[in-house]
Structure 1
Amino acid sequence: MADARPTAPAAPAAAPVPPTPPVPLSALLARDDLALRQLAGPTGPDVVIHWAHTSEMADPFPYLLGGELLLTAGVQFPDAPSPDTFFDSYVARVVAAGGAALGFGLAPVHDSVPDALVTACATHGLPLLEVPPGTTFSGVARAVWQLMAQARLAELRRVTEAQRSLAAAAAHSDPVSSVLRRLAQRLGGHAVLYGPDGTGIAAAGRAPAPAATEALHKLAAVVRPAAPPGQAPTGPAPTAPARPASATDTADGVHLSAYALGSGEGFVLGVAAQRREGGDHTIASVGAVLLSLLTGEHHSGAGAARSSALVRLLLGATPEEVVPLLDTGDGTSGGTSGGTGDGTGDGTSGGERIVVHARPDRQTPDAVAAAALGTALGTPLVDLDPDGEVVRLLVPAGREPAPVPGWTLGVSAPAGPGGWPAADTQAARALARARATRVPLVRHGARPGLSELVPEAAARAHAQALLAPLAAQPALTDTLRTWLSLHGSWDRTAVALGVHRNTVRQRVARAALLLGADLDDPDVRMELWFALRHS
């Protein structure tokens, strides 16, 4: 039998990875009921098995799938001659087949593990376990399956928790950065969003060494869609009509992954981690889907119509003339889709809109966060303030805005195109009041009051005359208006205006001096408030 020794083939470049969750060999050794003992081979958390298989074949190579703990009692092992050569060839064949570890059972064939087998396992780096007489192979296999079930349950729990965490992050006022941050935490590594031109536009987690960072950048180019017409490609020329949706690599000991986002805009998610664990691909894929939704542009007829509306406004058209274009595509047509042309077909009047001013509770908003807010409020008409602090939106009058987590909103009264500038002012004032009173949303009060009894022209003339001493100092006018709206609260006025409370005191005192008015008199306050509302 010893003369028919098989020859070990060259080991494959990479052993196949079974679809089952891995079980650390250390967990099996920790089972007191098995009393296993490791005699040779590597140790540590990276040494894992995927299942157990028993074989007494002198050459088990054809019967192994990879990742097994191979159990044998050495029935076919020779006593002599040349046992050393046999064991070396036997272990080499197990390693070539992808075997993860070897378990040798004592009794009834062998009273001890052959020294030549221990030496061969140490030489080829194959973990060798001694299975005592009181432990059956079926008991070892059952323990492996139990550990696998526990690992699978832990993996499912980890993926589920990660999905919930990422979904919550996507609802944040800064969704892209929040998703990347949660993704980096869940994967224990670094997550970066590459733009269509290949540059990193947002990242979270500790960045890997420069070599791995460069490799991740190149891996992102592998999955990035071909550059759109007029834009130079940033990665290597594609060799196939379609790029892969994802790709993996390893550089400098770091596991790298790249995912093309489904938005089709050329955005790519890159992930770098020191370890690649079960469920990581699923978690990263969930992150990629969320980022696709957050970065995607909707190329449709509605988008073209909105672009046309912008061009026409820039070329001198009035808001009334472009309202039909703005209404196309969001289901709130003012004179289309069965309407009568005056808005009566959908419950609105001639393209009425609500202006919303929004400010995030914490960080400065970016374009992606503004777009996500527009999605939450059901409108594509979003404008990010040049200062980057306030987002302005035009919402169809039939959709009353609701509070959005992470944002403070000021909402105007519904208005037609000609009234949008006034509605913009209403929303700004409502936002200031919301921030001052620390509530998530404030609506402009549109119910008629005593001021409606005075003709608008007369009210404006009276306001202009009364407030003339403040005309050259708009900061005093704004401060007085906010201070009166907040019932004379210095602190809340300071919060609303973003200035120090002492500045508020100085401005109000200066306004009182210029007006020659006693601001402690409620009648004076009422008259000034009336004037300020019509100024």
Structure 2
Amino acid sequence: MPIPPAGTPQATPPPGPPSGPPTPPIPLAELLAREELGLRRIAGPADADLLWVHTSEMADPYPYLLGGELLLSAGVLLTDPDHYVGRLVEAGAAALGFGVRPVHETVPAALIEACDRYGLPLLEVPPETPFTAIARAVWRLMAEARHRELRRVTRAQQALATAAARPDPVPAVLHQLATQLGGRAVLLTARGEEVHAAGRTPTEKVHAAGRAPTEGPSEAGRARTKEPSAVGRARTGEPSAAGRARTGEPSAAGRHPAPRTAAALTRLARVVARGRPGSPTSATDTHGDTHLAAYALGGGEGLVLALATRRREPGDHTVAGIAVVLLSLLAAPHQGADAAGRSAALVRMLLGASPAEVAPLLGATGPWTVIHARRTNGAPADALTAGALGASLGTALVDAGRGDGEPVRVLLPGAPGTDPDPPSAEPGTGTGSRTATSLEPTRVTPQPGTGTASHTATDPEPVRTSTGSGTGTGTGHAPDRVTPQPGWTLGASAPTPVTALDSADHLAARALAHAQATRAPLTTDAPASGLAALVPPEQAAAHARALLAPLTTPLADTLRCWLSLHGNWDRTAVALAVHRNTVRQRIGRCGELLAMDLDDMDARAELWFALRQG
């Protein structure tokens, strides 16, 4: 390659952006702290970061620099220090290491003045220190930094994955991300509306406002831009000064309140949420001394992850990328039935098609399971939380409800070739009966001061509901794909033909009511044969309403739980998280209101039958 003459540097076009640096940047101070090298800073600032180390004796090394280098030279062809330093700054060099002897006995004064004027750190390299030793020290420091970064990213990945498995996965991931980055994480819609947020917005000192965002999928490409101001910025991932529109210079003592940072973050998020062809998938900006970043989530929902942090450290972009993947999976529709199929099914239903006709469009040809769900802590479920529950169960067919106490309803399509459990008749026809049971043995532990209970699968005795005949117990089996979900109470129907979804919905509602009353994490209401099938459902429901009319909801729930536990006072008290005397008082009150002797087996059987209808 011909060497360009020193007099025509402007004609040399800057090279295209190279691949990213293999390691995190190294603070210049760490290299200077290596006493065995004997390096001494004699000009320029002390806060530079190093991405590379390179040796060159060319009069103009500009075309061969990537930006961020510690350039080592003995000044063999140094004739114009001012021009030489200016070209290094244009190339984005981080620092200059000048070796004394045999070419120069001391560092030229003109070179020291030029480095001070351009703001380029200048290091004096003693004669006994080979340039190779400096390069080896830099690479060793980079390897150590890389190891620290990998350990940090690994810990963050584990923490984010754990958060994604919690009952509130989206808020939990955002909270963990804000903790890992030491800032604020916000999930925004394409219109800039806040969906979830975690962490605190930094209050930043304002040095310069109104910077235009820098767009792009990563920061590595920006770290090596050939801008004069790249020194110091290239090593931290901060956007270069090129293209920034300055609207003012407030005093350094001024501060932006958090709302201004939030507004800037929202504007940045809209850059990646425009949805036009060629839109960037990420963008970064600075607002005062606060670093902003926005990442478009996958899945086509228009959601954006926005971040505001006080500082930007090695590994932050990788940690954010892990969160983007997790949030995309949690927030995006399940891929079992694509959007086109769901849209076609909706159109056909609105135009009068039957469920049996549209079911194949939703990716199911086998039986269906209806699931009703409520949060164990009683909190309402938003669309993202309900969607995450559906993703855990393996379906995108989720109704989050209207938020006024309605349960989350989930449709779980069956696999092709599977059949419902063969009942004696279709559910809800009056010719079959139901059994309900929790799928796992549960022990119920009251939470102090909350009035709720938690569940652990350690008690050897499962919660079980006896059949309406009163002659034995039944253990209906929930579908294999329905498993207890942390933080949720579930009621599931048995696998049901698509023509009987209305009945399955009713059964799932009753299963959920039973699960809540018995504090079981999952209950299934499955068709089965039994004496209850001999009574038409309408008559059974009317009888239950008349018999249980005197009872309030808390009394009915207590009675249901007490009967399901065979009249055991202590276990009922634990299940309801109340004192055993409270249970005795409530059961006594039930007997008074119903004018029935609850120690009588016939009375218990009749009440249990009635409670099973509600």
TM-score by length of 2: 0.67
> Which residues of 2 match residues 4-403 of structure 1 at below 5 A?
19-20=20-21, 21=23, 22-44=25-47, 47-77=48-78, 86-208=80-202, 209-226=258-275, 242-297=278-333, 298-306=338-346, 308-309=348-349, 322-325=354-357, 327-333=359-365, 346=366, 348=367, 352-360=368-376, 364-385=380-401, 386-387=403-404, 390-396=407-413, 399-400=479-480, 401-403=482-484
CA drift of 1:499 comes to 8.2
Partner of 1:486: 565
CA drift of 1:523 comes to 5.8
- Taking the aligned partners of 1:322 and 1:150, their CA distance within structure 2 comes to 65
CA drift of 1:197 comes to 2.4
- Taking the aligned partners of 2:35 and 2:405, their CA distance within structure 1 comes to 62
Higher share of residues assigned helix:
1
Preserved CA contact (<8 Å) 1:49 1:68:
yes
Asked if 1:423 corresponds to 2:507, the answer is yes
Which 10-residue stretch deviates more, 189-198 or 493-502?
Answer: 493-502
- Taking the aligned partners of 1:51 and 1:100, their CA distance within structure 2 comes to 9
Preserved CA contact (<8 Å) 2:372 2:407:
no
RCO higher in 1 or 2 (8 Å CA, sep ≥ 6)?
A: 2
Mark the CA change 1:309 to 1:121 in structure 2 (over 3 Å): closer, same or farther: same
SS at match of 1:173: coil
Preserved CA contact (<8 Å) 1:52 1:68:
yes
- Taking the aligned partners of 1:323 and 1:112, their CA distance within structure 2 comes to 89
Mark the runs of 5 or more structure 1 residues left unpaired by the alignment: 79-85, 227-237, 313-320, 334-345
Asked if 1:412 corresponds to 2:493, the answer is yes
CA drift of 1:218 comes to 1.6
CA drift of 1:363 comes to 5.2
Preserved CA contact (<8 Å) 2:45 2:120:
yes
- Taking the aligned partners of 2:541 and 2:341, their CA distance within structure 1 comes to 49
CA drift of 1:7 comes to 9.6
- Taking the aligned partners of 2:551 and 2:351, their CA distance within structure 1 comes to 35
Preserved CA contact (<8 Å) 2:98 2:123:
yes
SS at match of 1:300: helix
SS at match of 1:270: strand
TM-score by length of 1: 0.76
Q: 2:551 aligns with which of 473, 480, 492?
A: 473
**Any idea what the Cα deviations from partners look like across 1:303-335, whole Å, max 9, x if unmatched?**
4314654786xxxxxxxx8331452234432xx
**Any idea what the Cα deviations from partners look like across 1:184-230, whole Å, max 9, x if unmatched?**
2333322212213222222122124343332222222222235xxxx
CA drift of 1:138 comes to 0.6
Mark the runs of 5 or more structure 2 residues left unpaired by the alignment: 203-257, 419-478
SS at match of 1:191: strand
- Taking the aligned partners of 2:541 and 2:304, their CA distance within structure 1 comes to 60
Q: CA RMSD in A?
A: 3.9
**Any idea what the Cα deviations from partners look like across 1:62-92, whole Å, max 9, x if unmatched?**
44332111112334457xxxxxxx4444333
The amino acid of 1:511's aligned partner reads C
Mark the CA change 1:414 to 1:494 in structure 2 (over 3 Å): closer, same or farther: farther
CA drift of 1:48 comes to 0.7
Mark the CA change 1:331 to 1:122 in structure 2 (over 3 Å): closer, same or farther: same
- Taking the aligned partners of 1:458 and 1:187, their CA distance within structure 2 comes to 58
The amino acid of 1:186's aligned partner reads Q
| Percent of paired sites with the same residue | 51
Preserved CA contact (<8 Å) 2:489 2:516:
no
**Any idea what the Cα deviations from partners look like across 1:329-383, whole Å, max 9, x if unmatched?**
34432xxxxxxxxxxxx4x4xxx53434343558542111111211222333323
Mark the CA change 1:327 to 1:184 in structure 2 (over 3 Å): closer, same or farther: same
